Each structure stands twice: as C-alpha cells, then as structure tokens.
Amino acid sequence: MNTHLYFDLLGIDSHADKNTIKKAYRKKAFEFHPDLNKSPQAAAIFIRITEAYEYLMNEKSHSHEETFLKNTYADKMQAYHVKAKKMAEMDFEAFQKECEAFQSSRYYFFGVAVLFLLGVVYILGSAVLICLPLIVAVKTQTFWFVFALLPLALAGVFLFWNAFQEQSFWNQYLRN
C-alpha cells in the first residue's frame, strides 16, 4: 500500500509527527473497533487502520534502510497485517480491564504526578518569561529593557497559550 494512502486512511497530513499519528489512530480505532462498531466492514477497516498506524510509526522511528533492508517489504506488510488482525480480534472488555489494572498501579500514579508537576513548572516558567522584562525594567529603572527582553515575553505568551490550547493535557488530571 502506498504511504500516502496510509496518511489518508488516518485522515492526517503526510508530514504529521508521531504524536499526531497516534492521536489520529486512537480516534479512528475507537470509531471502527469491532466491539464498538457493529457494521460488517468495521473489522476490515480497523485492520487497515492498525496496519497504517504500525507502518507509519515504524517509518517515523526508524530509517527505511535500517528497517526494510532486513526484511522484504512484503514480509513487513504481512507482519503489520497479522498484528492488526490480532488487535481486531482482541476482546475490548479484556483490554479495558488491563488498562484499568495499570491505572490502579503505583506506576500510573507516579507517572501522573510527574506529568502534573512538569505541567505546573511549564506554566510557571512561561509566566516568568512573560513577567521578566517588566521585573528587570522596574529593578533597573530603565525601561528600555522591556523592549530588549520583549522576545522573552513573547515566547512566554506563546508557551502559556500553547499550554491551554491543548485541553487534553489538562483533562487527563481531572479524570476520576
């Protein structure tokens, strides 16, 4: 299958990064998983979506020469297809129980705590970048520092705006 067809199948741009590919895959997989979508072609579409995801993630993380010279293209595509078929046959309830077991483990709590603290540091750092020109100008009583440090303030505004633009980042801490 052509790489561009994989991007079209996931509904993303051909220059998408790994994070965008993962988000698009999760959205499509949730939409077409055979346990959630009862249409007759849902399983086949899910297999193609998973095959596209596996190929694109492998392509983004390894060079073509390193990955595809070891195995032929057909062997690699067959492996993607087999893995996608296994995921389509996976019982959704068993998968959900496995996820819940991980979420109740101490590793999950530690990971969430670290991510939350990093998010707080990110917000505080951007706030410092926004206020730094004014603080320096007031302390030195020379207001030309405001203009000299304006790029830092603009970077802080961008970081602050970016943190709140990605709502899923904050919503993950608000889940029960």
Q: Which of 59, 76, 101 is a domain's end point?
A: 101
| Domain span holding position 154 | 105-174
Q: Are residues 66 and 87 in the same domain?
A: yes
For Cα atoms 76, 78, 83, give the angle at the middle one, nearest 5 degrees. 95
Name every residue whose Cβ is closer than 8 Å to that of residue 56 and which is 6 or more positions away in sequence: 3, 6, 7, 10, 21
Q: Which of 76, 101, 126 is a domain's end point?
A: 101
Round to whole Å and give the CA distance between 151 and 157: 10
Q: Are residues 45 and 75 in the same domain?
A: yes
Mean pLDDT of the chain: 77
Round to whole Å and give the CA distance between 95 and 36: 13
Q: Are residues 97 and 128 in the same domain?
A: no
Q: Are residues 30 and 95 in the same domain?
A: yes
Other beta carbons within 10 Å of 45: 19
User: Can you tell me the mean pLDDT for 55-62?
Assistant: 71
Domain count of the chain? 2
pLDDT on residue 17: 85
pLDDT tens for each residue of 118-139: 878 888 888 888 887 878 878 8
Distance, CA of 48 to chain centre: 20
This prediction has a pTM of: 0.41
Distance, CA of 1 to chain centre: 24
- When mean pLDDT is compared over 25-34, 102-111, 130-139, the highest value belongs to 25-34
Round to whole Å and give the CA distance between 32 and 11: 14
For Cα atoms 53, 56, 61, give the angle at the middle one, nearest 5 degrees. 120
pLDDT value at 30 more than 80: yes
Q: Which of 101, 132, 161 is a domain's end point?
A: 101
Q: Are residues 113 and 87 in the same domain?
A: no
Whether residue 81 contacts residue 51, with contact meaning beta carbons closer than 8 Å, is answered with yes
Round to whole Å and give the CA distance between 129 and 127: 5
Question: Which tokens belong to 1?
Answer: 């299958």
